[in-house]
A and B are shown apart, each in its own frame.
Chain A
């Protein structure tokens, strides 16, 4: 942990790539002036469109790349300067790259990783057993990796990067390519890992559901800068001042016109209304609908997170 108790402490991080020579010289500011503090035990999603600088940021945080400017401390260490020391205390799971050996069983890979992390054999065996239980993967550890499905493999990869009991887990697009069920399972595991072990989760993703189901806090980056940083709940609440009312109807109903209400859909069986909460109170709309329509079912929901984030992405560059 850093001197101030922070897991991750970033101030003014910038990263510039220079490529080509003379006439074809290109300067790309992949990351510009990012500041971010993450405390122990947080679950954070670091999201943004392609080219936003997510992968670059996570590579800097894990010590693979060094920063062009700014101050970065992970667990009190400067990642690219104290890379090996840091590697003993963090775990990394990059969606496209495997830690496990293809022809071997996960167990065999764990044995090698245990040796690299200097975990003695008895201890390693105990940890593998714990992980098998935590991640529900006991039956997978003795099958060659090449015979496992992608979802099964990702669970084993997760075990591999947790073997040395890291304080922070960095995951770069971990659910890419997984089917719905496997994604769900993996997200549940991440939450479990965080809740039972207190491991900080730092996750980059394209998938909004990763944000919804795993993260407590979301940081949105675009064009290399942070454009939003708050809890997921707050994001939903403050950013889009709308609520959606889903109404089930017993039989047909007349059209409804209310200020601040847009009727998205209206059939004989139901309707979907979007309420602009700055112009109209949801309570009032509910009262009116219940009075005027033959309602069989009614529910009030937040707008989908996708819409919220799309709106953030679309915000003009600061």
Chain B
């Protein structure tokens, strides 16, 4: 545990080492997120509401998504790069240390640009989300569940690089879930809707927790937590099995 915290602390120090760069990165992300707010405001201004989603609820979605993605890509930044590290031998360093590889890897790097997302999401919720104690509690639990699911999903897709390819599936998975989580899942129908609730669970990353804050439903909440736990387990499993394969050397002959 002490090692884990020390690594996290060092990662933070490293990200913050160049103050100016840190704040520029953070501001860039805030600008980016404000752009999305502008988009939704313009959209709903014209369109009114779509399948039960209006501007307020969509901003709630943004608040959940920004904080959750910020936590995952900002604090556990390496989760995005595991595919590449598997392909180029970058995991050797972590295997030379007396640590559990996954937890060390995850906290080894902090990405300043995504830290901006965390702050933005929290502020957005505070400003537009009507933060009553109940809603805030649901929001925070929703964010935690969403992050857990996102980590699990990214781990699983990135870890496919242990088995085949140089990380393209990881890249595609990463792009897919982050793109689709920007949108209220209820707008999708048929096959697409099935996908965002299962294979690429973008719905659970943003839309479901946002809706829970507005209209709490115990069944949906259980589904949410189940999905989070499920993907976390999946990610852990694929990574662990993949690491064994890395250790047998079969991944590497590309290096």
* Residues of A near any B CB (own CB < 8 A): 15, 17-19, 26, 28, 30, 56, 59, 62-66, 80, 83-85, 87-88, 92, 94, 97-99, 101-104, 108-109, 111-112, 114-118, 144
How close is A310's CB to chain B, nearest CB, in angstroms? 28
* Residues of B near any A CB (own CB < 8 A): 2-3, 5-7, 9-10, 13-14, 17-18, 92-93, 95-100, 104, 247-250, 252-253
The interface residues of chain A, by DSSP majority, are classed as: mixed
- Whether B253 pairs with A64 at a CB distance below 8 angstroms is no
Contact of A88 among B93, B98, B247 (CB under 8 A): B98
Residues of A contacting B252 with CB < 8 Å? 17
In whole angstroms, what is the CA distance A20 to B247 when docked? 17
CB contact under 8 A between A102 and B97, given known A80-B247, A112-B9: no
Residues of A contacting B253 with CB < 8 Å? 17, 19, 26, 28
In whole angstroms, what is the CA distance A99 to B98 when docked? 13
Q: List 25 A-B contacts (CB under 8 A).
A: A17-B249, A26-B253, A30-B249, A64-B95, A64-B247, A80-B247, A84-B99, A84-B100, A87-B96, A87-B97, A87-B98, A88-B98, A94-B92, A97-B92, A103-B17, A104-B13, A104-B14, A104-B17, A109-B10, A111-B6, A112-B7, A116-B99, A117-B3, A117-B98, A118-B3
In whole angstroms, what is the CA distance A18 to B249 when docked? 8
- Whether B95 pairs with A63 at a CB distance below 8 angstroms is yes
- Whether B96 pairs with A65 at a CB distance below 8 angstroms is no
A-B pair number, CB within 8 angstroms: 85
- Whether B7 pairs with A59 at a CB distance below 8 angstroms is no
- List the 5 shortest-distance A-B pairs measured between CB atoms, nearest first: A115-B6, A103-B17, A116-B3, A87-B98, A19-B253
Residues of B contacting A109 with CB < 8 Å? 10
- Whether B93 pairs with A97 at a CB distance below 8 angstroms is yes
- Whether B97 pairs with A66 at a CB distance below 8 angstroms is no
Contact of B13 among A83, A98, A108 (CB under 8 A): A108
Q: In the complex, which of the residues B93, B98, B99, B104 has the most CB atoms of chain A within 10 Å of its own CB atom?
A: B98
